[in-house]
Chain A
Amino acid sequence: MSVPFFVFFACAVLAIAGALVLIVSREPIHSALALVLVMISLAILYLLLGAPFIAAVQIIVYAGAIMVLFVFVIMLLNAGVEERTNWSKLAKYAGLPLALFLLLEIAHWLFRAPVGAAIANGVGAPGPAASTTELSLELFQQYLFPFEATSILILIAILGALVLARKEE
């Protein structure tokens, strides 16, 4: 078994384990740390897929900024152990089997999808890794207007967060 396969399986197992811990754990802070684990293993998978810029952004923005925000809010609100509530009968007997069925169905069709089969058979194998230069040219030429629009979006989000979280006089 070659190195990329080993790295893929290690990261996949870590990501799925992190997601399971997110579901199972009762303390929000444990869930947050499990989510950081998922994000870091996804960043390694992005490196494996030849997208180093996206991997760096994933670590800086997701695992860094967003998760620090989450941990900050958990600490600020002193969020303790989650209360356990009873599931409704509908969720237990209809929702859970249907969710599992949907999961299996998605996995089945992804395995049968032409793009996956083509890559698996060695037809249309991916080219060299996407360089950050090409990505930035694409971003600042073809996608310049959406890029500028996101700056306005972030400005509005900052204002909204300030207004919402302000203490009432």
Chain B
Amino acid sequence: MSVVPISWYLVLSAILFGLGVIAFVFKRNIITIFMSIELMLNAVNLAFVAFARARNQLDGLVFVFFVIVVAAAEAAVGLAIVIMLARNRESLNVERINLLKF
């Protein structure tokens, strides 16, 4: 039984990261923008696991563990900010949140 080449996982990771960047740039809803950040983190995690497998070391898996923990903390704080913004501005469209715009 042959093994799937590691480079295929890396290419899948790059495609998912690129799609995450595209979603981050083109979406207008602030919750969906947060979701595209999570998509990018997931793509990077896939690359970490693939490299850990290729080099046969466990450090990559530990890194993925920490990335997941930090993503959980980030999601909690970020969604609290979203709730606060929605309460103050009554809109989730990022183009309406332009107080700091030059």
List of B residues within 8 angstroms of A38 by Cβ: 16, 39, 42
Chain A residue nearest to B1 (CB atoms) is A2
State how many angstroms separate the Cβ of B73 from the closest Cβ of chain A.
Answer: 4
A119 near B79: Cβ-Cβ < 8 Å: no
User: Interface residues of A: mostly helix, strand, loop or mixed?
Assistant: helix
State how many angstroms separate the Cβ of A115 from the closest Cβ of chain B.
Answer: 5
A120 near B5: Cβ-Cβ < 8 Å: yes
User: Interface residues of B: mostly helix, strand, loop or mixed?
Assistant: helix
Given the interface pairs A73-B82, A76-B83, A165-B83, the reply to whether A19 lies near B20 with Cβ below 8 Å is yes
Chain B residue nearest to A87 (CB atoms) is B26
Q: How many A-B residue pairs have CB under 8 A?
A: 230
Chain A residue nearest to B47 (CB atoms) is A110
How far apart are the CA atoms of A54 and B77 in the complex, in Å? 23
B11 near A110: Cβ-Cβ < 8 Å: yes
State how many angstroms separate the Cβ of B89 from the closest Cβ of chain A.
Answer: 11
- B: contact size bracket: 35 or more
- A: contact size bracket: 35 or more
In the assembled complex, B97 has its CB within 8 A of some CB on chain A:
no
How far apart are the CA atoms of A97 and B9 in the complex, in Å? 24
Given the interface pairs A53-B61, A130-B58, A135-B58, the reply to whether A79 lies near B29 with Cβ below 8 Å is yes
Given the interface pairs A115-B51, A153-B70, the reply to whether A158 lies near B76 with Cβ below 8 Å is yes
B54 near A150: Cβ-Cβ < 8 Å: no
Given contacts A42-B42, A157-B77, 7 further A-B contacts (CB under 8 A): A46-B46, A54-B61, A66-B38, A70-B35, A115-B55, A135-B61, A161-B79
24 contacting pairs across A/B (C-beta < 8 A): A4-B1, A12-B12, A28-B32, A31-B35, A38-B42, A42-B45, A49-B9, A51-B61, A54-B49, A57-B68, A62-B68, A66-B72, A73-B82, A77-B31, A77-B86, A116-B7, A125-B3, A126-B3, A130-B52, A146-B66, A153-B73, A162-B80, A164-B80, A165-B80
Which A residues have a C-beta under 8 Å from some C-beta of B? 2-5, 8, 12, 15-16, 19-20, 22-23, 28, 31-32, 35, 38-39, 42, 45-46, 48-51, 53-54, 57-58, 61-62, 65-66, 69-70, 73-74, 76-77, 79, 82-85, 87, 91, 95, 99, 102-103, 106-107, 110-111, 113, 115-120, 124-127, 130, 134-135, 138-139, 143, 146, 150, 153-154, 156-158, 160-162, 164-165
> What are the 4 closest A-B residue pairs judged by CB atoms, nearest first?
A116-B7, A157-B73, A164-B80, A161-B80
